[in-house]
Structure 1
Amino acid sequence: MMLSIFFRLEYWCAEDVLETYWLSRKHRPRRDNKMDDFIEIAASHGQGFTGYIALPGHDRAPGLVLLHDIFGIDDHTKQMARRYAEEGYVVVVPDLYWRLSPRASFSRHGADLERAHEFERRLDLEHAVDDINATFEALREHPAQDGKVGALGFGLGGSLAVLAAARTDVDCAVGYGGASLEGSLSDARYLRCPFVLHLAGRVASANDVLVRGKIRAAFEYRPGVTVHEYECGESFTVPGPEFDRTAASLSYSRSLSLLKKTMGPVYAIERVWKRHSYHKYVTRDAEAVMDTMVADPYFNDVPTMTGGIGKESLKRFYIEQFMYSFPPDAQHVPVSFTVGVDRIVDEFVFSCTHTCEMQWMLPGVEPTGKYFEVAMVAVICFRGDKIDNLHVYWDQATVLAQLGLLDPRGLPVVGVESARKVLDISRASDSLMPRMSGPDDKPD
C-alpha cells in the first residue's frame, strides 16, 4: 500500500501541531491585506523621505533594508523587496535619491541609463549612510518588525551595504557588486557584522584581473566575511541581457543563508514537505498539495522534462499524470535527507513493477510488466514557508535497460545494480571497467 510504503503515519497526525506553529506568537498572520506601500522616514534637520515597504504574511518579523542600485526604486527593486518579504522579512527600500529628486527611478535601457549614472555620481555617500541609519531606526519602530535588522544592496546599493556594515549597528549585511567596489576597499577593514559579498563581473583585461584581486584580498580575510565570485555581468540578478539564472539563484540562497543564520526566521520546512507529500501520495488531494506551494510554483522531472509551470498547470499535472500513476507495489527506500536553509535534498531508491502507465517517468510507454529499481534525488526549494519548486533526478538509461527498452550491451549503462550499490556500498565497483577491478572492489 502506498500509505505504508511512502510515509509513516506519525508524520501526519501532527497536522494540528503544524497549524499551531504558523499561528505561534512569533508568526501571527497579519490582520490587514496591504502587503506593500510607501512609508515616511524621518531624516536629520527635521526633514524626511519615503521608503517602499513590503510586509511578510505575519507580524513580528526581522527587518531588512534593501538598498537600490543606480536605477532607484524601480519595478525590479520592488519585486525583490516583495520576494524577501515572502521569505519572512519586513523589507524597506529607502529612497536614497530624495535629496536630488524624490522617488526618482530610471529605465534600465536607453536614454535613462546616462541619467541613472549621473544620479550615482551626484549622490553624497555620507548623506546616504545617514539616510540608511534613519531607515534602520524607522524599521525598528515599525509594529510588524521584531528582532534584528539586516541590509542588502545591489550595485550602488552593494557599495552602500559595505558602508552600512562598517559604520552602523546593522546585524548583518549582503552586498552585490563588481569593479565599483574598488572605492570601498578602505571600509572593508572596519566591517562590524557578518558580511557576504557577491563579486561579479567578467574579467576582460589585465586591469580587470588586478581590480578583482584587490577587492577580493580586501574582503575575504576579514573575520565573518565570505566572498563569492561569479563569472558574469554585474547585472546578473536582473532579467535582461546579463541575467544569469544559475548565478542569481545560487547567490540568492547564499544571501538567504546569512540572513537566516543571523536573524531568522527559521521555518519548519521539513514539516511542510511531509505535509505536501502526504496529500500528494496518500490523500491525493490536489488542492491541499497546492496550498503548500507558492502562487507560481514549478515542478521538473529532469530526465523526462515532465511537470508543470504555474499553479493551474502543475495542479493538472499532479491530477492527470502523477498522483494516480504508481503501481501497487511501488516502494520508496530512504537513503539520505538533508534540510538546508531554503531547500531539502531527499535521496532515495524507488522500485516497482511497471504494471500501469507512468507518464511522469515513462511518457508514451505502455506497461511492460517488468520490475525495476532506480536511485533518485529530489531537490525541494522553498520560498519562506512555501514550496517554490521541485527538481527530481534519476538515471533514465538504468530504468530503460531494466524494462528491456534499451540494450545496454556495448554501452556504459548498468541495470538494477546501480540502485543496489547505493543501498549497499560493499557491492563491487567499476564493473564497466574490468582493468580497474581489484581486491578492494570485490564484495565480501
Structure 2
Amino acid sequence: MAGKWIDIAAADGGTFKGYLTIPASGSGPGILLLQEIFGVNSSMREVADYYAEEGYVVLAPDLFWRMEPGIELGYSEADFNKAFGYYQRFDANQSIKDSADALKVLRGRPECTGKVGALGFCLGGKLAYLTAARTDVDCAVSYYGVGIEADIGEAAKIKGPMVFHFAELDKFAPAEAREQVKAAFAKRPDVECYLYPGCDHAFAAPERTSFNKPATLMAHSRSIALFRKVLGPHYDLSTLWDRHTELEFGIRSAEATMGTMVAEPYVNHIPTMTGGVGYRDLLRFYANHFIPKTPKDTKLIPISRTIGADRVVDEMLFCFTHDIEIDWMLPGVAPTGKYVEIPLVAIVRFRGDKLYNEHIYWDQASVLVQIGLLDPALLPVAGVATAKKLVDETLPSNTLMARWAESAPQAAE
C-alpha cells in the first residue's frame, strides 16, 4: 500500500507536507500519526501504511517543517545526533497548532469518514498526549512518550480515551515519569497504561536494536482495541473466519482462500512448523500441501470461540480418517486408515477485514498415539481420550499420574 504527500495549510501562513495513505476500501476513520525525532521517514510511512491496511485513513504531518522541510533520518549514531539537535530546537507548542491544522485537513478529506484518533511514537508519543489535551481528537495512543510529565497538568483537559505504552528500561521515560502519568489518570477507567517488562525505548521500531517483537505485537493489539472501540471500523471477524474455513475445507479452492487474506499473509502450524510466509509460498502450500492433502471426511466441531478487536480464537475438535498422506500434519507418514479426533486451537489475526496470520496448535503426541506410531504405555501421552475429555469434563482426570492415588484422603479408622 503506497500513500502520497499532500499540502497542509498552516493557520499562520505557509504550507507544509503530510504523508497520506488510504485503506483499500477507499475510506475509513482517521488517524493522525505523529512522528519521532527522525522526521516522517520511511519507518513512519510504513506505520501509516500498516494502519491503512487496518482500515484507517492516516495522515502523518511533517512537524519539523518550520526548521527544515522534509527531514528524513535513519537510526545511525550520526543520524541520531542530527535528530537530537532538531529535537532541542523543536517548538512543541507550535507543533500542536500545526497538528491541529493537519487534523482539520484530515477531517475534511472525503475519504475520512467518522471519527479521528491520534497516534504517536517517542516525541510523537508526547505530541499524541498534547493533541488529546488541546484538540478534538476522539482518542489517542502514545508509545513511550518522552517528557509527558513536564505537561502533566494538562491531563485533566483530555476528555477522550487514551492508551499509554511504556517500556520498563526506558531512560527517556523513567519510572518516576510513568508513575506521574498513572497517578494523573488513576480515576479514569478509559485511560490505560501498559508497561512492557524487559523492553527499552523504541521497542516497536523494527529498525532499532531495541525492537522487541512480542511486545510490539501485544501493544499493537491493545492500540487497535482502542481505535476499533472508539473509531471503528467494525468488522464481523467471526463471519470472515467462517468464510475462510469454508473455502479451505468445503469449496477447497486455494486461490479463493487466499482472497480472504492480506497481500502478504502467513500461516504457521506450530507442532509441525508447516505453512507459508508471504503470498507465493502460502498459495503454494495451500494448493499443493494443505487442501489436497487433507482427508475428505475432515470435520471441524466447534467448542468455543473468542472474538477480540483484531483476532478470533477458535477451540474445536479436528476429526478425520488418516486415508491420505497429510503433508502438513503427518509429513512422510503413509496412510494408516485410522480415525483421529484431537483438540485443536486456531488463533487467527486480522488486519482490517482480511486475515493476516494463523497460529494453529494441536497435540501431535495424541495424533501419533491414535495412528499407532507412539506407545502411550511408554510415555505420559494420551490418544483420543484428550478429545473425549474436552467435550465431557466428568471423565477421569490425572490418569497419566501414577502417584495421583497417593494423595487421596485416607479413610477414617
Q: TM-score, normalised by structure 1?
A: 0.86
**Structure 2 matches for 1:89-238, cutoff 5 A?**
89-177=56-144, 180-202=147-169, 208-231=174-197, 232-238=199-205
Once the two structures are TM-superposed, the CA of residue 301 in structure 1 deviates from its matched residue by 0.2
- Where 1:262 maps in the other structure, the secondary structure is helix
Residue 113 of structure 2 aligns with an amino acid whose one-letter code is D
Which deviates more, 331-340 or 381-390?
331-340
Q: Per-residue CA shift, 1:112-163, capped at 9, x if unaligned?
A: 1011011112111110110111111111111111211110000100011111
* Structure 1 position 60, deviation (Å): 4.0
Question: Is residue 179–residue 212 contact of structure 1 (8 Å, CA) maintained in 2?
Answer: no
Once residues 187 and 176 of structure 2 are traced to their aligned partners in structure 1, the CA distance between those partners, rounded to angstroms, is 17
For residue 435 of structure 1, report the CA deviation from its aligned partner: 4.6
Aligned equivalents of 1:168, 1:343: Cα separation in 2? 31
Equivalent position of 1:12 in the other structure = none
Partner of 1:307: 275
CA contact (8 A) 1:178 1:200 kept: no
Q: SS where residue 77 of structure 2 aligns?
A: coil
Matched position secondary structure for 1:368: coil
Match runs of 1:15-414 below 5 Å: 36-177=3-144, 180-202=147-169, 208-231=174-197, 232-239=199-206, 240-414=208-382
Distance verdict in 2 for CA 1:402–1:138, change over 3 Å:
same
- For 1:174 and 1:354, locate their aligned partners in 2 and report how far apart those are by CA, in whole Å: 49
Q: Distance in 2 between matches of 1:52 and 1:105?
A: 12
Q: What is the deviation of 1:179? A: 5.7
What amino acid is the match of 1:260? Answer: R
Structure 2 residue matching 1:360: 3-state secondary structure: coil
Asked whether the equivalents of residues 125 and 146 of structure 2 are also in contact (C-alpha less than 8 Å), the reply is: no
For the 8 Å contact 1:189–1:222, the answer to whether it is kept is no
**CA–CA separation in structure 2 for the residues paired with 1:142 and 1:258:** 23
- Distance between the aligned counterparts of 1:203 and 1:256, measured in 2? 23
Give unmatched runs, 5+ long, in structure 1. 1-33
- Partner amino acid, structure 2, of 1:381: R
CA contact (8 A) 2:168 2:175 kept: no
Counterpart code for 1:351:
C
Say what the alpha-carbon RMSD is for the aligned residues.
2.2
Q: Structure 1, residues 284-312: CA drift from partner, whole Å, max 9, x if none?
A: 22111111111111110000000011111
- Asked if the contact 2:40/2:71 (under 8 Å) is kept, the reply is yes
Distance in 1 (alpha carbons) for counterparts of 2:346 and 2:248: 15
CA distance in 1, matches of 2:69, 2:157: 31
Q: Contact conserved, 1:398 with 1:413, CA < 8 A, in 2?
A: yes
Residue aligning to 1:3? none
Give the aligned residue type for 1:339: I
**Cα displacement string for residues 165-184 of structure 1 (whole angstroms, at most 9, x for unaligned residues):** 11211100000015644334
| AA at the equivalent of 1:383 | R
Aligned residues with identical type, % of pairs: 45
* Deviating more after overlay: 130-139 vs 265-274: 265-274
CA distance in 2, matches of 1:275, 1:333: 16
**Structure 1 counterpart of 2:299, which letter?**
Q
How far apart are residue 107 of structure 1 and its match? 1.2
CA shift for structure 1 position 410: 4.8
> Which 10-residue stretch deviates more, 212-221 or 363-372?
212-221
Q: Contact (CA 8 Å) 1:179, 1:201: kept in 2 or not? A: no
Q: Distance in 2 between matches of 1:169 and 1:211?
A: 25
Distance in 2 (alpha carbons) for counterparts of 1:387 and 1:301: 15
Distance 2:215 2:361 in 1: 20
| More deviation, 403-412/122-131 | 403-412
Report the CA distance between 1:210 and its aligned residue: 3.8
| CA contact 1:158–1:177 (8 Å) conserved in 2 | yes
Letter in 2 for 1:189: A
Q: 1:363 to 1:203 in 2, by over 3 A?
A: same
CA distance in structure 1 between the partners assigned to 2:170 and 2:117 by the alignment? 30
Q: Counterparts of 1:409 and 1:154 in 2: how far apart (Å)?
A: 55
Distance 1:436 1:212, change over 3 A: farther
Q: Deviations over 1:67-118 (max 9, x none)?
A: 0111110001001101111111110001110111011121111311011011
Spell out, residue by residue over 1:4-33, the C-alpha distance to the aligned partner (whole angstroms, 9 max, x if none): xxxxxxxxxxxxxxxxxxxxxxxxxxxxxx
Report how far residue 405 of structure 1 moved: 1.5
Q: Which residue of 2 aligns with 1:417?
A: 385
- Give the structure-2-normalised TM-score: 0.93
Q: Is the 8 A contact 2:165 2:196 kept in 1?
A: yes
Deviation string for 1:390-415 (max 9, x for gaps)? Answer: 11001111111222222233533222
- Where 1:52 maps in the other structure, the secondary structure is strand
Q: 2: CA distance between counterparts of 1:410 and 1:218?
A: 59
